[in-house]
Amino acid sequence: MKRLLALIAAALMMAPTVCHADEGMWIPMLLGRNQAAMQKAGMHITAQDIYDINKASLKDAVLLFGGGCTGEFVSDEGLVLTNHHCGYSYIVKHSTVEHDYLTNGFWAMTREQEIPCPGLTVTRLVYMQDVTKEVLDGVTEGMSEGDRETIIENNIKAVSAKATEGTHYKAVIKPFYYGNQYFMYVNEVFTDVRLVGAPPSNIGKFGGDTDNWMWPRHTGDFSMFRVYVDGSNKPAAYSKDNVPYRPLKHLEISLKGVDEGDFTFVFGYPGTTRRYVTHDYVDLAANQENPVRIALRTIRLDHYNAAMRQSAAQRLKYASRVAGIANGWKKWQGESLGIERLHGVEQKMAQEEQFRQWAKDKPQYRDVLDSMEANYAQLREVSLEWTYFNEAVMASDFMQRAYRLFRIQRNSDTALVTSMRADSEKYFEDFDQHSPVDEAIFVETFLYMWEHGYAPYMNLKHSTDAEVEATLHKVYAKSILNNPKKLEKVLSMKREKMIHAIGTDPAVQIFSQAYNYCYGGDKRQRHSTANDNIQRLMRTYIKGMMEQYPDSNFFPDANLTLRVAYGHVEGFKPKDATYYTAYSTIDGIMEKENPDVYDYRVEPRLKELWQKKDYGHYATKKGELPVAFIATNHTTGGNSGSPVLNADGQLVGINFDRCWEGTMSDLLFDPAYCRNISLDIRYCLFIIDKYAGARHLVDEMTLVEQ
Ligand code: ARG
Ligand code: ASP
């Protein structure tokens, strides 16, 4: 009882079930519901200016960039702005030691110099529609989950086919509120996207992984692309005859900048949040999975970083993957800390207690949380195996390639052999036959699993770390995977013989053992059953919460669909006796400068402009050159590259990150700590114009001085 009272008291003091003022990622089509609040917060435009299907609106300028970032049109000739880290893999792909665009930057001075990026798409939302009724047509209360899924799947196919019939559009239908509602997105997907500009790494990634997820920040995190189309302004595959796209709308850019307290909104594609999960999820993520993921990624990062320090070639080789590994690694650390600081688990338990009280006499909701706990208990028994598989077993190229052989062994599809061959050729071109880095990662991640009791299959033969380690090295040395000739010999054998040969390979053997340990028996089934049940229970739980708090506006969790988040430019107090102001300037770059630290090297030309205070009309009234600012907009992964707009709907920044103290915002939003970080558009323009001398690109844009 005492515990219960303490929990309820805690709930009253801490975050309520309903949303905080600045929390939320709202659906553009339904933004009318937020309009009054947004205008009260300072917005001058209307919800219709943001999303309208009858005439061009801001949404026509906002794009899904690739598969997980946002971009925006900033000229009537299809010029797109996004983050440097969103264009990163394309910048890397076009870089060589001789033409190192990653290190030195790249600026197309003519249209001919713009570089095609095969595989890169950008997607524009044409319109969206609530299709809940159509998708749930035929679904009944008591039916099995399987039947429900089949009906929904078929309905989705039919509805999307009908919506896009006779057009070049593509439709996507996604569940909201765990399947209580469905929306359809009818999109236009552009497939000829070219690289136009990128600053050098020591501007575009200034601060590197040291500053990543942190404020104060000085990263010039932007890059530029251009969308090309056929003669009728429609998406087309790359062709040299394609012409720049003429968008329905491109964003105006405000040179006025922002001040503390100003209204801003972020318009983009947030990927995933889990705002409504129960305490078990929070505990599992923060206290069990994150620590394992972090430890295993530390192993990988140590080896890659050491290799990258050795040569320019190695730096280019590993840059892109390290950026991804390091990003998650650091975010999870911040997330776990944030959850601990907020007593996230207890907070959730307290909310659940309130729900239980409310649901006591409601048979449809009464048992949902008990069932949820029971399913989490099941999930806990197998969830770390899942984590170990992804973060340890699959950590090395060696094991990823062993997985391909393993699939060939189990599947008679000859395409797998063809792709293994092509992939290996490419692999041996890019990486050494014997890669000490990859070998070390393989050995150490398996050793880690063994030491933590997650590789019991190795216990049979060994008792000491040294023995395990020696065996792992032997596996690496003896496998055909690192011997192109032997590998080719096996891949050209007749199927039966090939399968036998693959089966005797030590890499495939250890991979199979690991696979069976993590997923074998009924483990995979248990994992997915528990997860499916939890999803289904969440559908009921969230429906219940909406009834429990009928006057609140519950935002749907992010699901990589277009959303609007709004808030204010605002500093915060990260810890006792410390206050972070809302914007950073170029002076901070020079404060951080350290020629001995890779992340803090400063371009001589940038320094020169700073010394002369040659900021053009990009400076503030005080004569400072702003670099980045923070605000209370609720954002997440996928929002990178999103336009940050002012009260008049003009571009003032490009969203690229969140502050360390608020990285738990996917699960728990705390207005005191959660801040998104945006590049000030004036710094971006300054770099293009003053630093790179690519004035022609700025001239394409629509700048508003006042
Ligand atoms: N943290 C930002 C986001 O989640 C930026 C990541 C890219 N930067 C990096 N240093 N890895 O995407
Ligand atoms: N940096 C993230 C992205 O790439 C944004 C975030 O997680 O805040 O989308």
Which residues, other chains included, contact 174 with Cβ-Cβ below 8 Å and sequence gap of 6+?
A: 182, 183, 185, 559, 560, 561
Catalytic residue among 640, 642, 665, 678: 640
- Does any ligand 1 atom lie closer than 6 A to the CB of residue 83? no
Average pLDDT, the chain: 95
Q: Give me the mean pLDDT over the 308-334 stretch.
A: 94
Report the residue count for the chain: 706
- Does any ligand 2 atom lie closer than 6 A to the CB of residue 219? no
The pLDDT, as a whole number, for residue 21 is: 75
Q: Give me the mean pLDDT over the 461-474 stretch.
A: 90
Alpha carbons 528 and 654: distance in angstroms, whole number: 38
Each residue of 246-270: pLDDT tens digit?
Answer: 999 999 999 999 999 999 999 999 9
Q: Which ligand is nearest to the CA of 273?
A: 2
Ligand 2 mean position to 636 CA, how many Å?
5
**Token digits of residue 279:** 């305490």
Q: 195 has which bridge partners?
A: 115, 225
Three-class SS state of 143: coil
The pLDDT, as a whole number, for residue 155 is: 98
The pLDDT, as a whole number, for residue 459 is: 78
The pLDDT, as a whole number, for residue 142 is: 83
The terminus-to-terminus CA distance of the chain in angstroms comes to 61
The pLDDT, as a whole number, for residue 430 is: 81
**Alpha-carbon Rg for the chain in angstroms:** 26
Alpha carbons 702 and 706: distance in angstroms, whole number: 12
**What is the SS3 string spanning 378-393?**
HHHHHHHHHHHHHHHH
Question: What is the number of alpha carbons within 13 Å of residue 657 lying toward its C-beta?
Answer: 30
- Does any ligand 2 atom lie closer than 6 A to the CB of residue 387? no
Q: Is the pLDDT of residue 674 over 60?
A: yes
The pLDDT, as a whole number, for residue 223 is: 98
Q: Strands 643-645 and 263-268: what pairing?
A: antiparallel
Q: Strands 223-229 and 192-198: what pairing?
A: antiparallel
Which residues, other chains included, contact 112 with Cβ-Cβ below 8 Å and sequence gap of 6+?
A: none
Q: Which amino acid is at 589?
A: I
The DSSP call for residue 559 is -
**Token digits of residue 664:** 């738990």
The pLDDT, as a whole number, for residue 461 is: 72
Alpha carbons 239 and 111: distance in angstroms, whole number: 14
The pLDDT, as a whole number, for residue 4 is: 47
Share of the chain above pLDDT 90, in %: 92
Share of the chain above pLDDT 70, in %: 97
Split at pLDDT 50, 70, 90, the class of 8 is very low
- Please give the helix or strand (H or E) that residue 104 lies within, else none: helix 101-104
Q: Is the pLDDT of residue 145 over 90?
A: no
Ligand 2 mean position to 658 CA, how many Å?
7
The DSSP call for residue 284 is I
**Token digits of residue 641:** 């590259």
Split at pLDDT 50, 70, 90, the class of 434 is confident
Three-class SS state of 657: strand
Ligand 2 atom nearest to CA at 635: 8
Q: Give me the mean pLDDT over the 540-566 stretch.
A: 97
CA 77 to chain centre: 28
The DSSP call for residue 460 is T
The pLDDT, as a whole number, for residue 11 is: 47
The pLDDT, as a whole number, for residue 15 is: 47
Higher-confidence residue of 552 and 587: namely 587
Split at pLDDT 50, 70, 90, the class of 112 is very high
Split at pLDDT 50, 70, 90, the class of 16 is low
Q: Is the pLDDT of residue 34 over 50?
A: yes
